[in-house]
Amino acid sequence: MGIIEEIYDMVNEETWMDEPFKILVPFPIMSAILRRSFYASVSVRKFYPNIYTLFVGESGCGKGVAIENTIENTIEAVDSSLLLSSVFTPEGLMKDMSRRTIGYGIVCNDEIGDMISSKKYMTGMNEVLIGLYNSDKSSYTKTLVKNKYSVIKPCLTVALGTQPDRLMQLYDEKLLTGGLIPRMIIAYGRKLPPKQVSIDKKRHNRILLKLMVLNEFVRSLGNEIPVGITEDAFKEMFDYVGSISQKEIDEDVSMMLHRVLDHIVKLSIIYSVDRWFWHDVACDIGDICDTCDSSERCDTEFLKNLAENYLKSTILSDDTHNTTHTHNTHHTHVTHLTDVTELISPLPPLIWGICDTWNTDNLVIDSSIVKKSVSQITKLVFGNLSYAKSCDVVTHDVTRDTHSGSSLFIKSLSEYRQNVHLAKVKNIISKLYASGQVSTVNGLPAIKRLNILRLSHLSSSRLKEIEDTLKESGMIDITVKDRTKYILLIDEGWKEQL
């Protein structure tokens, strides 16, 4: 079993997060650890495993559990140097990453509004994040204020969260522009009732140990390792992308369709390394926790030493650049590791040298890997639609194309946003009506438009779109009295909504 599946099983059994959150959680962890050490080439582009993820849901749905308790805490335990500040200005981010020998790291913050705002000192954040995501060059350079910053080999991963209303507000205020949202893999999570869970400490240790072994391995690589793509995998990718009608791929379509090829390739790189590493490089690491008797004092430092010792004991590089793996099936090295005082020193850097000392024949993206990636993206999209339905903002059925068993269609973001705002305004009007905050104008109950504008946090032009929709349906009318604009409630249906 790969580490992705193990992390999923852990959060599935030990939390009551919604399914889309559980699906997405393992990928930012793997993305951060893999850094820029692996890449896949598609046409003239090089793709790295860095991904941008966004967890969206109401308060109490588990965003903090996903981002802080699982992703951030795991990364901190494995390698705290991977963690970047959770709050920064564009200049602060570029300065932090430019100071690193290689510009990698992960940002974890359960409120995207801390990074994207209308404040003057936050100007340019969209451009910086997009530039760091896109860059497949040796460096990314950006001039901010009066200073010029250069990030060497950028590979930024982000795990962010927000509430649906806040996301829509950022979008309405044009703070999320230039294609940042399409570059994010987004999961919408519903608030689910608590369930009884059990914590498996030994499983936690096993997952941390495996991630530490992978992290030490990646740190010791000298060059970037190419991940091959089979012809069948190429066909699977482009058949999938081609199955999405080009008519739907415009400026307003859902983020999952904008850059779906990016998401497929990046997830496929993560899946392929996950499969290759545990099958061909560290195939016996999973048994160590079951063999070791040190569970009562198995802290993070002990696990790190265990990971370093494992790699030095079992993986050797010879002078002929042929791969030699020593699979110690008897785990003789485990016995002395139960005594912390006998642990060997940390691995020296670059112990394996250049990447061609490794047999990477099996490090490929094949059709089965692409299908797994596409399946996860499809699950996330339909999970997002389930969320929309639970909010009563989806007005038509989802159509699923069965081509390659994994195609999808999602309605445009503009329609989704319109329905969210419509539901919000109707709810505000009903609450104002119920609380008696109404006047009588022309013999009809009337609400000041300014009150709705203030409570909805919508722009005047966006509220006008909602008003036009309600007018067309015969529910309201607009009038002006004493220089004040009122919304007249001309439909008895408002009473029925109370």
Per domain, the residue ranges of the chain are: 3-276+364-405, 413-496
> Which residues neighbour 483 within 8 Å (Cβ) at sequence distance 6 or greater?
none
Q: Kindly compute the dihedral angle of the four CA atoms of residues 446, 452, 453, 459, in this order, to the nearest 10 degrees.
A: -100
Q: What is the pLDDT of residue 267?
A: 96
How far is it, in rounded angstroms, from Cα 213 to Cα 277? 10
Q: What is the largest CA-CA distance in the chain?
A: 93
Cα 391 versus chain centre, distance = 22
Q: What is the pLDDT of residue 321?
A: 33
Structure tokens at 101: 């020998």
How far is it, in rounded angstroms, from Cα 106 to Cα 217? 18
Structure tokens at 478: 């607009």
Place of tokens 């040796």: 138
Same CATH fold assignment for domains 3-276+364-405 and 413-496: no
Structure tokens at 163: 């509430």
CATH of span 413-496:
1.10.10.10
Q: Choose among 400, 409, 416: nearest CA to 245.
A: 409
How far is it, in rounded angstroms, from Cα 232 to Cα 236? 6
CATH of span 3-276+364-405:
3.40.50.300
**Sequential DSSP letters for 322-342:** -EEE---TT-HHHHHHTSGGG
**What pairs with residue 446 in β-bridges?**
439, 488
What is residue 468's three-state secondary structure?
helix
How far is it, in rounded angstroms, from Cα 228 to Cα 40? 6
How far is it, in rounded angstroms, from Cα 218 to Cα 104? 12
Q: What is the pLDDT of residue 492?
A: 61
Strand 225-226 with 184-188, pairing: unpaired
Q: CB count, 10 Å around CB of 137?
A: 10
How far is it, in rounded angstroms, from Cα 362 to Cα 275? 9
How far is it, in rounded angstroms, from Cα 288 to Cα 305? 13
Lateral strand order in the sheet of 484-489: 439-441, 444-448, 484-489, 476-481
How far is it, in rounded angstroms, from Cα 10 to Cα 441? 59
Q: What is the pLDDT of residue 297?
A: 58
Place of tokens 């936050």: 122
Judge whether 154 and 139 are in contact, CB under 8 Å. yes
H-type helices in 327-484, by residue range?
A: 332-337, 367-390, 413-434, 449-456, 460-472
- Cα torsion angle, 268, 271, 277, 279, sign: negative
From first to last of its 498 residues, what are the pLDDT tens digits of the chain? 689 999 999 999 998 899 999 999 999 999 999 999 999 998 778 999 999 999 988 888 899 999 999 999 999 999 999 999 988 889 989 999 988 888 889 999 988 888 887 778 888 888 899 999 987 888 899 888 778 999 998 999 999 999 887 887 777 677 776 678 888 898 988 888 887 777 888 888 889 889 988 998 888 777 788 999 999 998 888 887 776 544 343 333 344 455 788 999 999 999 999 999 888 877 777 667 666 655 555 677 777 777 777 777 665 443 333 343 333 333 333 333 333 333 333 333 333 333 344 578 889 999 999 999 988 888 887 666 666 556 544 444 433 333 332 233 233 345 556 677 788 888 888 888 888 888 889 888 899 999 888 888 777 887 888 888 888 888 889 999 888 999 988 876 665 554
How far is it, in rounded angstroms, from Cα 278 to Cα 287? 12
> Which residues neighbour 168 within 8 Å (Cβ) at sequence distance 6 or greater?
417, 420, 421
